[in-house]
Structure formats: C-alpha cells, structure tokens
Structure 1
C-alpha cells in the first residue's frame, strides 16, 4: 500500500527526521506538512500548508482529506510551563487535530510520538506522564489503527537542521548508549521507518517502546 501521510511538527527535530525518511522512502507517495512557519524543504512528494491555529482547522479542512496516515510529531516539553498550558498543547490540541482527521479520513493510521515513561494508567505521580497517557488512550479510541510511539534518546538523521542544542552536546554518547542500553536508544530514521511500516501493514501492539520501534523498522 502506498502511504499518503500528513506530518505535524515537521519544523522540530523529531518531525523533521520523520519527514526526511518519508521523502526518501519508496512506499510513501505523497506528504502533507502542516506548519506554523515555512519548513524550507522542497520535494516533488511534498506539499506544505502554513496554518498557525491547530485549534481551528476549518480554514484548511478541505486540504486534509484523502490521506491514509498521520505522523503526529508536534509536541512541547513540560519544563518551564504550567500544568494547564502543557495539557492544553499536549492533550487538547492533539485531540482536536485527531478528531478532525478521524472524521475526514476514518480509515487513517495515526502514529503519535509520546515518550518513554508515559503513564497509560493516568494515575501516576508524574503530571506530564499522566497527560501523555490520557492523550494516547483517547487517540486509540478515535482511530482503529492508532500506534503510540515511545522513543527514548533519538539520533538525528543526516542533514537535519532542527536539532536541539543540548542534543548536539551529547550526540557522542549515542553509540555507547545504544550498545549498553539498547532499550533506550534509537535513530530518527528507525522512528520514521517504523511509522511507515505501521501505516502499511500494522503492528501487533498499540504502544511501541524503543525495542518495538527498532524491530518494526528493521522487519
């Protein structure tokens, strides 16, 4: 099956890595990115929508139909913001986009980037993990084909521009970490490949930890 994917968060590190893998992958036919600002990438497969308000997709809804996958890589860190703002962006915004896409593309596969340590029970002591868990659980209800990706430390793709400064300082540790703690380390190429394969053929689990991401990417 050829993949027609919508990608959010393509101007961030994770989203850019997933986008580059999609543009390189033969199973991906076309890609639509929804950005708040121009991403600066041009490719025959790629279409870009500039839209600032993800809580109101009505102005661009007609352009969102006809896709069979969404790779949702948009997100923020909980550091330095209130619990209310974190929930607004992580839960409310994501579910607003999810509801619109589920209505327009009911057969869509939705791949959501969460994070290692997400709390599916929604009962734990860590606030961000509860919010992520609630978001995962809701998306699984929206989409029959929904996969929650929980990567740990991710190595960037060659040629990426949007790399967080602190990641640059610790990239040297990746080979050591991957060798000693393989359950916590993967590459963004593996994340992208695993999303494409999940959209194309599914996976046995709804929640993918690092070992699942690596296994699916290399299957």
Structure 2
C-alpha cells in the first residue's frame, strides 16, 4: 500500500508550481495539498489549503500551519536573466534554504523535492546561476529531511489549460516532439515532472540528482 501524501507546494502561481499543484490535486495518493503564495492561485479544491504570505525569509507567523506534512515540492524560483548576482543568490539560495530549514525542523519525515535545472553545477565553480543552484542543491542535502532530491529538467512541456504557462511556449512548443525524439533526456512534460516527484517521495530512488531521463522513467513507474 502506497504512503498517502500530505504535500506543501511552493510557487503555485508560476508555471511549474501550478502544474505540480494540479497533478497533486488529481492524484489519489495525495490526500492534502498546502500552497504558500504571495498572491491567490485562483484554484478551489477539497484537498487544497492556501496560505497567502509575502515574507518567505521569515516564516515564524505561519509555522504552526507547516507541520504534519511528509512532502515539499519546491517549485519557487526566478530567472537569472537581467538580475544582479547578489539578488539572484538571495532569491535562489538564501530563500530556499531558509524555507527548507524551517520545514526540516517541523517535519522530520518529510521528503523535499527541489526543482533545480539542467546544467546545474554540483562543483559550485564560477559565479553564475549554475553554481548558485549547485550550492543550493548541496546544502539542501545536508538538512535533516527523510530524503532530498534535486530535479534537473531541461525543456518542460506545459499542461494544457492551466493559467500560468509562459507566453513564449506558444511560439516554441512545436520544438518539444522534435527535441524529445532527438534528445529525450532534455525534454520532459510538466505532468511527468509532477508524477516523478510523487513516485520518488513514496518509493525513494538510487540517487539524489534527478536528471531528465530519470524524470521520464520515474513518471512511467507510477
């Protein structure tokens, strides 16, 4: 019998977080979903609880609502394009680690799934986004969670009908079937990413870094 999941999802007003939330709400093994957003996600569902909260660097005011969950699917993130290095570090590394430290203290049996990105540098060499993501992954894995997994998708095909799909996908969506055929490990669907997170939380995996090919395989196993 599969473990029933109570999941916290961050970033549900973005494309990836919205898709992960959507799949969790549909999945029979997920019994409760908590989303923490700066603005309403505009979704109503019997499984769903939403907290509107703006200061992710200080969660003390909502800590009493963050316990008794066994999974966090962390989909909150920003693009480094046009952003100063210090601000990108603050919003990528500092924010993520603060949220994770809080959740690991409150939920000892939690699995933490972090949406990183293809090309992340685990060696933390250089000063670009890849090194910041690598440091974030590495330090998350030092926290006292039950399990930590860093997901590194490349091109993600959106779920049709959702609200927060980036506009540029209208123009580049045609690339997906070609890319999937030629370079499958670099192309996954948002549904596959979501299902892979659910499966790995319930069943574990042989490695902590989840590349595109792993995402596809894990999604098939569910």
Q: TM-score, normalised by structure 2?
A: 0.97
Instruction: Provide runs of 4+ in structure 1 moved above 3 Å.
Output: none
Larger mean Cα displacement after TM superposition, 91-100 or 161-170: 161-170
State the alpha-carbon separation in 2 of the partners of residues 37 and 115 from structure 1: 25
1:44 to partner: Cα distance: 0.5
Q: Given the superposition, is the C-alpha separation of residues 169 and 126 from structure 1 closer, same or farther in structure 2, using an over 3 Å criterion?
A: farther
How well do the aligned residues superpose, as a CA RMSD in angstroms? 0.8
Where do residues 1-219 of structure 1 align in structure 2 (5 Å cutoff)?
A: 1-123=3-125, 125=126, 127-142=128-143, 143-219=145-221
1:181 to partner: Cα distance: 1.1
Task: Name structure 1 gaps, 5 residues minimum.
Answer: none
1:108 to partner: Cα distance: 0.4
Number of equivalent positions: 218
Task: Name structure 2 gaps, 5 residues minimum.
Answer: none
Instruction: Give CA-to-partner distance per residue, 1:75-133, whole Å, 9 cap, x none.
Output: 0000011000000000000000000000000110000000000000101x351000000
State the alpha-carbon separation in 1 of the partners of residues 98 and 127 from structure 2: 24
Aligned to 1:165, what secondary structure does the other structure show? Answer: coil
Aligned to 1:203, what secondary structure does the other structure show? Answer: coil
